[in-house]
Amino acid sequence: MESSVIRKSPETDFSALLEESFSAVETIGQPERGDLLTGTIVAIDEQGMIVDVKMKRDAVVPRADLERLQGVTFKVGQEVSIVVVNPEDQEGNLVASVVQARQSEDWLRAEELMQSGEVFEAVVADANRGGLIVPFGNLRGFVPASHVADLPRGLSEDERKEFMMSLVDKKIYVKVIEANRRRRRLVLSQREAQREQRDQNKESLLGSLQEGEVRRGVVSSLRDFGAFVDLGGADGLIHISELAWHRVKHPSELLTVGQELDVYILRLDQESKRIALSLKRLQPNPWSLIDEMYHVGQLVEGTISRVAEFGAFVSLAPGIEALLHTNQMSDPPPDDPTQVLREGDKLLMRIISIESHRQRLGLSLKDVTAEERARWAEEHGTVLAVVPPGTGKNAASAVDYSEDQNAEVAS
């Protein structure tokens, strides 16, 4: 009895296999260098690892590639990602790398972080005078010296390297500012991360602050125009005009970096995220005491704090500035007060107007007689300056003139 089994001819088998092969190629495509594939580990030996990637050939991962992943173990049946290193070597193998696959994943993550601007924590692994080396997964990120926060200026090469090395093994916050996979450049910035954090902290702080309240802070830096105070992760500015009721030339006259102090929340600008602070608002307003301390016609001794073309500002107790106008200096008035008076000169003057509600007090020098000036100098032991009338090229200086006149009257 003949068998009912129909045997396929060799031509039929070959044709079917060829069609299946073409179908697989159309579905999967021929692997190329740099392709990222996913497969299952089918074997691990001393030569390396074999990975089934659902192609006609399995991928081979050399032992040297596996050893680069220190502390990482693999097992048969595990699914892994690999990158094609060589589509076909001399022996016909599809050579792949798990290290590059992991790096590829790290590049994707770095690119995502650069797009989002997210700040993350990292540990400094090494350093040189040019910057910091920071591990990023299986990649190495670099923080250039220009992007290292709090790097002192004016350091020598050795001092710069010493500063960088002091950060090794320290945790820092960084931000990805360049992720170029083709050039293998991963650049990070500690300074940008710090700025980002401070902006976030400031936004949060702005939501919790209220104008008119008092907060504790620490002086973080001094500038010619004022002082910055850290209120807990974000800085507010005390403008130089808000440091004291009297005139301040530079914040360093009153404050030092690192000093703790209470500050008054003067103004909050939610749009520009600025915090204006005041120190003088926590001190008694000296102008509120003026009506009790002074009266029109009273003689007062003051010190010139600044001289302008229209007159001089004079410091008086308890920390106010009064105005001595040019017309009240002498008869005739000096052509240029800056030529006859200078900062620090002591004057005896008469109060001619008081407007405490407008914080104004007017003084006169010409209304003080020579006898009054001599008597005051004798009683208080001070050398007083006066403005000589008809000032010109041959006019004496204020101090010299005052000394001569005081001596003449005393005699």
pLDDT at residue 365 is higher than 80: yes
Report d(CA 260, CA 278) in Å as an integer. 14
Tens of pLDDT, residues 265-305: 999 988 888 899 999 999 888 888 899 999 999 999 999 99
255-268 pLDDT, tens per residue? Answer: 999 999 999 999 99
What is the average pLDDT across 344-351? Answer: 93
Please tell me the predicted confidence (pLDDT) of residue 129.
80
The helix (H) or strand (E) run that includes residue 361 is strand 360-364
pLDDT for the residue numbered 19: 53
Per-residue pLDDT, averaged over 306-320, amounts to: 90
Q: What value does the mean pLDDT take over residues 178-189?
A: 89
pLDDT of the residue at 4: 40
State residue 338's pLDDT score: 86
Q: How confident is the model at residue 2 (pLDDT cuts 50, 70, 90)?
A: very low
* pLDDT reading at 254 higher than 80: yes
| H-run or E-run covering 61 | strand 59-62
Domains delineated in the chain:
42-113 (2.40.50), 117-194 (2.40.50.140), 213-282 (2.40.50.140), 286-410 (2.40.50.140)
More confident residue, 284 or 401: 284
> pLDDT-derived band of residue 99, with 50, 70 and 90 as boundaries?
confident
Length of the chain: 411
Distance, in Å, from the CA atom of 296 to the CA atom of 362, rounded to the nearest integer, reads 9
Which DSSP string do the residues of 399-411 spell out, in sequence order?
A: HHHHHHHHHHHH-
**150: confidence class by pLDDT, cuts 50, 70, 90:** confident
**Longest CA pairwise span in the chain (Å):** 160
Mean pLDDT of the chain: 84
Q: What Cα–Cα distance (Å) separates residue 367 from each residue in 19, 295, 300, 364?
A: 117, 15, 12, 6
Res. 134: pLDDT tops 70: yes
Label residue 355 by pLDDT band (50, 70, 90): very high
Return the bridge partners of 176, or none.
188
Which is more confident, 248 or 19? 248
**256 vs 154, which has greater pLDDT?**
256
Mean pLDDT of 310-335: 91
Give 29's pLDDT tier (boundaries 50, 70, 90). low
User: What is the pTM (predicted TM-score) of this model?
Assistant: 0.51
pLDDT, residue 392, reads 42
**Does pLDDT of 56 surpass 90?**
no
Phi-psi region of 319 (alpha: psi -120 to 50; beta: other; left: phi over 0): left
CB under 8 Å to 176, separation ≥6 — which residues? 110, 113, 114, 141, 186, 187, 188
3-state class of 295 per DSSP? coil
Residue 373 predicted with pLDDT over 60? yes
Instruction: Give the closest residue to 161 by CA, choosing from 151, 147, 176, 171.
Output: 151
- Checking if the pLDDT of 14 tops 60, the result is no
- C-alpha gyration radius of the chain: 41
Residue 110 in this model has a pLDDT that exceeds 60 = yes
**Whether the Cβ atoms of residue 300 and residue 294 lie closer than 8 Å to each other:** yes
Task: Give pLDDT, residue 285.
Answer: 87
Distance of alpha carbon 366 from the chain centroid? 52
What per-residue string of b and e applies to 109-123 under the rule 16 or more CB within 10 Å gives b? bbeebbeeeebeebe
Cα separation, 122 vs 141, in Å, equals: 10
Condensed to tens digits (0 to 9), the pLDDT of residues 192-218 reads 998 888 888 888 888 888 999 999 999
Residues in Cβ contact with 108 at an 8 Å cutoff, skipping those fewer than 6 apart? none
Q: Mapped to the 3 state alphabet, what secondary structure does 195-215 carry?
A: HHHHHHHHHHHHHHCCCCCEE
Name residues whose C-beta falls within 8 Å of residue 330's C-beta, 6 or more positions apart in sequence. 365, 366, 386, 387, 388, 389
Residue 175: the pLDDT is: 94
Whether the CB-CB separation of 223 and 251 falls below 8 Å is answered with yes
Helix orientation angle between 370-380 and 398-410, rounded to the nearest 10 degrees: 90
**Confidence at 15, pLDDT banded by 50, 70, 90:** low
CA distance 407 to 121: 75
Q: In this model, does residue 402 exceed pLDDT 50?
A: no
Which three-class secondary structure string do you get for 109-139? HHHHHHHHCCEEEEECCEEECCEEEEEECCE
Q: Percent of the chain having pLDDT more than 90?
A: 42
What is the spatial distance between Cα 134 and Cα 125, in angstroms, rounded to a whole number?
Answer: 6
Residues with Cβ within 8 Å of residue 276, at least 6 apart in sequence: 236, 237, 239, 242, 265, 266, 267, 268, 269
Least reliable range by pLDDT among 5-19, 160-174, 209-223: 5-19
Averaged pLDDT, 91-115: 86
pLDDT at 20: 52
Instruction: Give yes or no for a cis peptide into 333 (omega within 30° of 0).
Output: no
Q: 139 pLDDT band (50/70/90 cuts)? A: confident
In this prediction, residue 18 has a pLDDT band, given cuts at 50, 70 and 90, of very low
Q: Is the pLDDT of residue 166 over 80?
A: yes
- What is the distance between the alpha carbons of residues 76 and 230, in angstroms, rounded to a whole number? 56
Kindly state the tokens that stand for 57.
């050939």
406, two tokens: 């005081």
